[in-house]
Structure 1
Amino acid sequence: MAAALNGMDVYFSQPNLMLPGSGLAGRLLLPYIERLRNSFTCWQNRVGFMEQFRISRAESGFPVFQSVLELENDRNGAEKRLASIPEPDVLRREMADFILRHKEFPATLQTQMAERLYLQQIRKGEIFSPFVLPETIHVSVNPQNSRPVYVVTWGVFDGPQTLPMIYIATIEDSSENVDRLLVGPDGKLRHDVDIPLPIGGLLNPELATRFDDFIVRNGAYGLTPATIASNLDKDFETLHPKLLRRIVLGPFYSSGITENNARINDILSKVRRDENAWLMSWTMQEIFSKNERPASRGFFSSTPAVQEFHIETNDLEAARMGVSAYEKHALVPHEAYQALYAAGEATAIFGNYKVHVISGRQVVSEV
């Protein structure tokens, strides 16, 4: 997994890589990959003092959701637990003394050291929590209607599917409070307002808490992007979602570990070096608004503006996903791709995937 996450860093760090159809650089996904890396480093330390550690071997290849919840819980109590464990230097001296006096390995002290390293790591970096709360990463103004436009990202680790997901939304805001603050008389973004991006939460302070609550209730993999975008449109009269993108990370395949695809795992088992015997896949889904029905104001009643989202019904897979478009990607080490190709399985396994082969710091796409 460490090799796969490093490979994704290399791929999404490419200077000219843009997320399809968005004009956004692939680099904006890197903080979420770093959160995953921090989580796996914590889990690696955790297995030093826990009896077992479970992953979803037959499905996603990621740790089971209980492990994600335990990380979050342990992070909240890390300071208190660290205070009850001796400092590392003290533990090292006690371990050396135990070995000299008893001629045995100090298993209990090693467990304490592993727990301390785990707690120090979990306190140090941001992890991929069940819900990574939103950040506003870009602000502009739509020149056609002078509405402020936000690009907002957040993350969700889905429990039933054990899959980490990254969401990116482009949202127009017709709230009066932000219109007065952000939009100048010329209909453009005011330059005299300092916006230190990224900003934690939705930029509109009056809606930020409600928006956080919304993503907690509407982040599950079982909800289609069309459903999530429609719910957002309904729940917030002055927020107008124009584009919602979801990046589903996984499944992950690893020789000798996962059982989610027997054909892939059998071929990966023949790769000579373990650090190259893996395959990481991800799916990019998007739903966009093709039209906005304007708000109507009547004497007795009024209706808010409503988005009409496009679902590509000519593509059965897109219709099933509830999206306007999607892309499937696979990242695989060069040695593993050679094994798949030599077995005559590359075409059958990758099918409609966009394949990226990595060797060192070089990535060759669309092989």
Structure 2
Amino acid sequence: MNAETDAAARYFDAIAAALSGLEIFMRDDRSPLYRHGIVAGIVAEYISRLEASFESWRNRLAFMDRFRISRAESGFPVFQNVLELENDRRQAEQRIANIPDAATIRAEMADFILRHKEFPDALQKSMAERLYLEGIKDDDQFGPFMLAQTANVSVNPENMRPFYLVHWAAFDGTANLPLIYMATIEDSSDSMVRQIVDQKTGKMNEGLHIPLPVDGLLNPELAHQFDAFTEKNSAYTLSPVTIATNLDKDFETLHPKQLRRVVLGPFYSAGITENNSTVTEVLSKVRRTENAWLLTWTIQEVFSKAEKPGRRGLFSSEKATQEFHINTDDLEAARQGVSSYEKHALIPHEAYQALYAAGEAQKIFEGYKVHILSKGQVISDV
């Protein structure tokens, strides 16, 4: 195993352990991260997609030599890898048809070894490519952009509007960071109000069955427009309040009440990433390399504190608009364009001990909620 192959193996082992630990944390009912189980479940689904992507990239290296990560910034793969994976997925069926089936390749490999007394590298690469393509064709990976889904529907009894919990995700091509979005949106469209709301009780129509989750925004008249909006407004450079304000402005009958963004990363791995010299130096002293990593993530939230009523006149009209709360008492919240934010860190027990022993833990984790992965469990509030 050469140095590059060894480094790649260590990186994939570390990120697999980190995402597995994060998924454990998200799926734990006792997790302090969220009060609302459906939100943690949504994030866990996207983590599963990321895990599938990393498994696919690992398989791809068996026949392709090129894989780059953002060593000095996010610690995640560069965007080109995400695009290549998506392109391969789209062509998977066509490419599989041009590769012999696995049984044929195995027979050819055995025959080659018997005749030439050496290992058939070319045939091994064909087998690796076939297994890789079979693994990605079902679209289980974290793509460049993942269209919205409606995960929950309810009714606001105060204004008789239906509201949706909608989520989507993107891999930011500039920051090389996975981003997960969730929005709570009220819908004042006459057609949706009539369908969903019981006008007598102010609750959801009892006879209405909605098979959740629903692909796209639940409102079919706005679904395509909403997809186009989210694809254009999911960049990391846009603050949550900017995205929420744009959504409020672009849709007359959609009223965003809350927008949440989960920014996964940066990720730190000893001997691989160079995004924090202090963390890198201490992690390099962790005895077991599979425990020499640190994963951080940030949850940003902006919510509407009031709605300015719309008005309709003979010659002009204005739609109802949201007044979003920005916590100007917190300089960091104001800089991020959010009502509130939380910074989290997940680290193996051995690595945390190393940081603590080096006297760096308090400085590195200042402002973070720290979660320690130990023996398949996550311990929080340390």
In structure 1, the partner of 2:67 is 53
Partner in structure 2 of residue 212 of structure 1: 227
**How far did residue 51 of structure 1 move?**
2.2
Cα displacement (A) at 1:361: 2.4
SS in 1 for 2:140: coil
Deviation at 1:300, TM superposition (A): 1.2
| Matches of 2:378 and 2:67, distance apart in 1 | 32
Alignment of 1:68-217 (within 5 A): 68-185=82-199, 186-217=201-232
Three-state SS of the structure 1 residue aligned to 2:166 is: strand
Is the Cα–Cα contact under 8 Å of residues 41 and 121 in structure 1 kept in the other structure? no
- Normalised TM-score (structure 2): 0.94
**Aligned AA (1:258):** T
**Residue 353 of structure 1 corresponds to which residue in structure 2?**
368
The normalised TM-score by structure 1 is 0.98
Deviation at 1:21, TM superposition (A): 7.0
Question: In the superposition, relative to structure 1, how do residues 361 and 51 fare at CA in structure 2: closer, same or farther (>3 Å)?
Answer: closer
Letter paired with 2:67: F
User: Is the alpha carbon distance of 1:92 and 1:110 closer, same or farther for their aligned partners in structure 2, counting shifts above 3 Å?
Assistant: same
Deviations 1:133-156 (A, max 9, x none): 101001000011010010001001
The C-alpha deviation readout for 1:235-284, integer Å capped at 9, x for no partner, is 00000000000000000011111111111111111111122111110000
Distance in 2 between the 1:267 and 1:21 partners?
Answer: 34
**Which residue of structure 1 lines up, in the alignment, with residue 240 of structure 2?**
225
Segments of structure 2 that go 5 or more residues without pairing to the other structure are 1-14
Q: Percent identity?
A: 62
Q: CA RMSD in A?
A: 1.2
Q: In 1, distance between residues paired with 2:35 and 2:41? A: 15
Q: Distance in 2 between matches of 1:158 and 1:42?
A: 19
CA distance, structure 2, for counterparts of residue 259 and residue 96 of structure 1: 44
Unaligned runs of at least 5 residues, structure 1:
none
**Poorly superposed stretches of 4+, deviation over 6 Å:** none
Q: Partner residue of 1:7?
A: 21
Cα separation, 2, equivalents of 1:190 and 1:240:
21
Contact between 1:240 and 1:307, CA under 8 Å: does it hold in 2?
yes
- Alpha-carbon displacement from aligned partner over 1:161-215 (angstroms, at most 9, x marks no partner): 0000100100000001111110012211112111111111000000001000001
8 Å contact kept, 1:136–1:150: yes
AA matched with 1:237: E
May I ask how many residue pairs the two structures share in their alignment?
367
Q: 1:23 to 1:287 in 2, by over 3 A?
A: farther
Deviations 1:262-318 (A, max 9, x none): 111111111111221111100000000011000101121110000010111111111
